[in-house]
Amino acid sequence: MKNCIIFVCLSGLCLIILSCSTTALTREGSMIRDTSINNVQDCFYIGSHKATGFGFRDTENKLRNIAAGLGGTHIIWAGQNTTDLGIVILYGRIYRCP
């Protein structure tokens, strides 16, 4: 019983520590603009991607950084999920627009 309590406490501590870590938005990532399907007719579709993280802002920053790394300029947010452990999964379609 004592071992179970220690395990639960350590697991909780790990989750607290992990939830405090955030992904910094790069300069390039900060230039990614939100858009809608109506505004990408003249854009090049790069692809659909997802990012996972602890918290919405952390995960959003990750996906914006991914988009920038792929040469994107715009993103259409395609959905989100949150697991039972609080992990956020964001989906986006990345475009390069003139």
Q: What domains are defined for the chain?
A: 2-96 (3.30.1660.10)
pLDDT tens digits, residue range 59-71?
A: 999 999 999 999 9
Which residue is listed with tokens 């007719």?
41
Residue type, 4: C
Q: How far apart are CA 28 and CA 18, in angstroms?
A: 25
Residue 50: the pLDDT is 97
Residue 37: the pLDDT is 96
Give the up-direction half-sphere exposure of residue 79: CA atoms within 13 A in the CB hemisphere: 4
Residue 9: the pLDDT is 53
Residue whose C-alpha is closest to residue 88's, from 25, 28, 23: 23
Residue 25: the pLDDT is 95
pLDDT tens digits, residue range 3-51?
A: 656 555 555 655 555 555 688 999 999 999 999 999 999 999 999 999 9
